[in-house]
Structure 1
Amino acid sequence: MPTDQIQYKNHPGSLLQSEPNKLRVEDLRSEEMIINLGPQHPSTHGVIRLEVLMDGEIVREVVPHIGYLHRCFEKHAENLPFNQIIPFVDRLDYVAAMNCEHVYAMGVERMLGITDQIPKRVEYARVLMAELNRIASHFIAIGTYGMDIGAFTPFFWIMRDREHILRLLEWASGARLLYNYMWIGGLFYDLPVGFEEKCAEFIRYIKPKLKELESILIDNKIFINRTANVGVLPLDLAINCGVTGPMLRASGLRFDLRKVDAYSIYPELDFNIPIGEGRVGSVGDCWDRTWVRMQEIHESVKMVEQCLQKLTGDHKRTRDFDPQALVPKKIRPKAQDFYIRGETPKGELGFFFRTDGRNDIPFRCKGRSCSFVNLSVLPEIAKGVLIADLIAIIGTIDVVMGEVDR
């Protein structure tokens, strides 16, 4: 390890106070070290520095240092009209941009009072895209996590299958990751002709692949031994820290905003909310968090199938369908404070708006980032673990630093 990454804690008897050339092995065994993990490290899933107080291989304290990828989202949003903010929303969780767009567009529509006027075809297309992106996001979470702890091959399988989703989303929006597809009042454009058929073909392809992935990685004995009873997040701690998404559900609480708030057309869809059950270890451990994400992929596949049935049945494409006919060029909500939230792959994403009733630019805008809140629990669940287990814990938090730093 480079010497510039090791600092010895300065207390009486510290190595820093010893005479040169008189360091003893006994001193090294008894000294605590501060190790900087990051800011650029393959296991931190973004630009973040973890200041780790180590006692040998044991982690005594962890302090996350953020701000290396600051997006200035709030200040950008406070200087742009509502409809021009969407490209900046994409850059929050850049591996689940459709989900972020869905929450933002729905929020402004509720603020304007036009939610009931959104065509059903638009709603089903939005949820179809959001659930496809949820699958792709969970693929990244599971694939990179497997690689973090030594399972290399599943990462390549997952990236191969994720590519099919990215091609579908690029076909519809014209962009590979940052889509600008869900607009306030509708969509950038209707789904391309033949999109539903290609999407159904992907669903038929992915179902056996998911079973294969689950058996080769999630149920693997080595993976279980590596993740069971590691990084246990008790339910009361998760609630008190504001943790949401798969991390909260893995701790045993069946809380999903798609069910709780019943927004968009989710009440019309049949899907379950998987929770951690402690099948191979403790409820809320690293294995449970990975298993919950895997089960959520299965549920998203079910929802995609149901959306496709509606889009090819009750809500087919028509020539007079205009996916963006509801909203004027200048959006001027009445003066108010307004908050909207939705369920992204990582948890609750919320947007707070303060408007003055005169401008089409929000007076104040605040993004409630689930990755930021979920990361805040790391110092609590990483105390007393081995340094290798710290890497395992970080992976199951599934942070995206663009959303943490906003």
Structure 2
Amino acid sequence: MSNAIQYEYKKEYLTVSAPTKYNAESLRTEEMVLNMGPQHPSTHGVLRLEVVTDGEVVVDVVPHLGYLHRCFEKHAESLPFNQIIPYVDRLDYVAAMNSEHAYVMGVERMLGIENDIPKRVEYIRVLVAELNRLASHFVAIGTYAMDIGAYTPFLWMMRDREQILKLLEWVCGARMLYNYVWIGGLFYDLPVGFEERCAEFIKYLKPKLEELQHLVIDNKIFVERTINVGVLPLPVAINYGCTGPMLRASGLRYDLRKVDGYSVYPELDFDVPIGEGKLGTVGDSWDRTWVRVLECRESIRIIEQSLEKLTKEHKRTSDFDPQALVPKKIRPKAMDFYTRAENPKGELGFFFRTDGRSDIPVRCKARACSFNNLSVIGEMSKGALLADLVAIIGSIDVVMGEVDR
């Protein structure tokens, strides 16, 4: 390269004139776009986040969905109502019993048989649903602690969750995808000795929740990583349609088990915990975790009362048939119908449109609570540090099978 060419090259590409005076504009860093997921372990499945950062500060977060699309609605529109239940299991696969309960109650109301369901069936449904709620919250709390850097709580939570899964497997033969709650009844009655074994497990679990509080919730590092992080103000939560622990942690005492009073929940005594900002701001990541821990305690109260009802007032009898009211042909009247229930992550709803001639819904739409809860992540993350984004994602507790459907 000749000297003339080198001179032109340096002049064009290498010569940089230093600013004569520093100002805010000259020191401003440029924004950068990062991709978190869908393979990142803290994105809880196959969630992809497009993160706009200014240095270490999050400017915006855009979630990208569709990596786990299950085509639930279109499957439901090609199957009879009773054959849709296994597909419902695969939405929030961590809380399949709760999802089945919501779906089955809706179909029963369309058929007009919801008041004919035997009380023993209803209490068994509530029992298994609350056991599954415990298992779901154990996954949420355990994986959240691991996201922040604590591995032991995850192992302890999975140890106790395993006992719940064994109980549910004993009931219906499946570990996670149950197909146990049927339209008009149940697949089968509880196994002989189930009530006693479940009561023993609850007695074992109570002190474990106290250990969980000391190990995680009151832990100094956990507190510092979660207080005042990902604050979700109540008006924002309402505007985005957030439900479940996300909404209650922001201060609103709203639980469909109380508001709608479905199944036998009105006959049971339990409280609805809310976030109070004890250590930080109302609606922060610590509050969301704390509400889930309190809900575990309330689920234990519900399970104890259900077991008492099943062993004293609605005992097992030799002639009891949990499938006695299961309809042979499910053909609701022509209508548009929406049903909802309180899942561990929030309001799970199903919209049906029927024509009155077929046992297959004309339209079926699922209202997934994880979808709405995830949609607010951009509002919660603006101004947070990039390291805190992981703490914010985990506090939402999303299951991507339900988000993508």
Provide TM-score, normalisation by structure 2: 0.93
* 2:183–2:327 Cα contact (<8 Å) kept: no
User: Would the aligned equivalents of 1:29 and 1:56 in 2 still touch at CA under 8 Å?
Assistant: no
Gap change, CA 1:319 and 1:53, over 3 Å in 2: same
Q: Hey, what's the Cα distance between the residues in 2 that align with 1:19 and 1:270? A: 75
TM-superposed deviation, 1:48: 1.0
Task: Supply the distance in 1 between the matched residues of 2:221 and 2:383 (Cα, whole angstroms).
Answer: 22
For residues 257 and 324 of structure 1, the distance between their equivalents in structure 2, rounded to whole angstroms, comes to: 27
Which residue in 2 is equivalent to 1:132? Answer: 131
Q: Is the 8 A contact 1:67 1:405 kept in 2?
A: yes
Report if aligned partners of 2:108, 2:183 keep a CA contact under 8 Å in 1: yes
Shift of 1:152: 1.1
SS at match of 1:381: helix
- In structure 2, the residue matched to 1:11 is none
1:166 is aligned to: 165
Could you tell me how far apart the structure 2 residues matched to 1:237 and 1:31 are?
Answer: 29
Partners of 2:46 and 2:67 within 8 A in 1 = yes
The Cα offsets for residues 183-239 of structure 1, whole Å up to 9 and x where unpaired, read as: 000000000001001100100100011101111110111111110000000000101
Q: 1:268-301 CA distances to partner (integer Å, 9 max, x unpaired)?
A: 0000000000000000000000000000000000
Which secondary structure does the structure 2 equivalent of 1:68 belong to? coil
**What secondary structure, in the 3-state scheme, does the structure 2 residue paired with 1:43 have?**
helix
SS at match of 1:301: helix
Kept after mapping to 1: 8 A contact 2:184/2:327: no
**Structure 1 position 198 matched with structure 2 position 205:** no
2:144/2:395 contact within 8 Å kept: yes
Name 2:6's counterpart in structure 1: none
The equivalent of 2:265 in structure 1 is: 266
Partner of 1:42: 41
Q: 1:225 to 1:315 in 2, by over 3 A?
A: same
C-alpha separation between the residues in 1 aligned to 2:373 and 2:400? 12
Aligned to 2:364: 365
Q: CA shift at 1:35, angstroms?
A: 0.5
Extract structure 1 runs of 4+ deviating beyond 6 A.
26-29
User: In the superposition, relative to structure 1, how do residues 20 and 333 fare at CA in structure 2: closer, same or farther (>3 Å)?
Assistant: farther
* Aligned mates of 1:328, 1:297 — CA distance in 2: 35
Residue type of the partner of 1:358? R
User: How big is the shift at 1:329?
Assistant: 1.9
Residue type at the aligned position of 1:95: V
Cα distance in 2 for partners of 1:336, 1:80 equals 18
Change (3 A) 1:28 1:404: farther
Query: Match of 1:88, as an amino acid?
Result: Y
Q: In the alignment, is the contact (CA less than 8 A) between 1:107 and 1:339 conserved in 2?
A: yes
Code of the residue aligned with 1:241 in structure 2: it is: Y
Q: How far off its partner does 1:20 sit?
A: 9.2
Aligned-partner Cα distance in 1 for 2:47–2:14? 34
1:31 deviation in Å?
2.1
CA distance in 2, matches of 1:113, 1:30: 63
Structure 1's unaligned 5+ residue stretches are 1-17
User: What does 1:116-195 align with in structure 2 at a 5 Å threshold?
Assistant: 116-195=115-194
Q: Which runs of 5+ in 2 are unaligned?
A: 1-11
Aligned to 1:73: 72
Change (3 A) 1:20 1:190: farther
Partner Cα separation in structure 2 for residue 139 and residue 21 of structure 1 = 59
Matches within 5 A, 1:96-111: 96-111=95-110
The structure with more radius of gyration: 2
- Report the alpha carbon displacement of residue 327 of structure 1 after superposing the two structures with TM: 3.0
How many correspondences in the alignment?
387
CA RMSD of aligned residues (A): 1.6
Partner of 1:214: 213
1:328-360 CA-partner distances (Å, limit 9, x unpaired):
222000000000000000000000000000000
- Report sequence identity in percent: 75
Q: Which residue of 2 aligns with 1:354?
A: 353
Structure 1 segment 337-348 matched on structure 2, within 5 A = 337-348=336-347
Q: Structure 1: how far apart are the matches of 2:289 and 2:128? A: 23
Greater shift, 324-333 or 139-148, is seen at 324-333
1:244 alignment counterpart: 243
Tell me the TM-score normalized by structure 1. Answer: 0.93
Corresponding letter in the other structure for 1:366:
K
In structure 2, the residue matched to 1:10 is: none
Gap change, CA 1:113 and 1:55, over 3 Å in 2: same
Relative to structure 1, the CA distance from residue 147 to residue 336 in structure 2 (aligned partners, 3 Å threshold; closer, same or farther) is same
- 1:314 matched to 2:324: no
Deviations 1:49-94 (A, max 9, x none): 1000111111101000000000100000000000000000000000
For 1:312, what is the secondary structure of its paired residue? helix
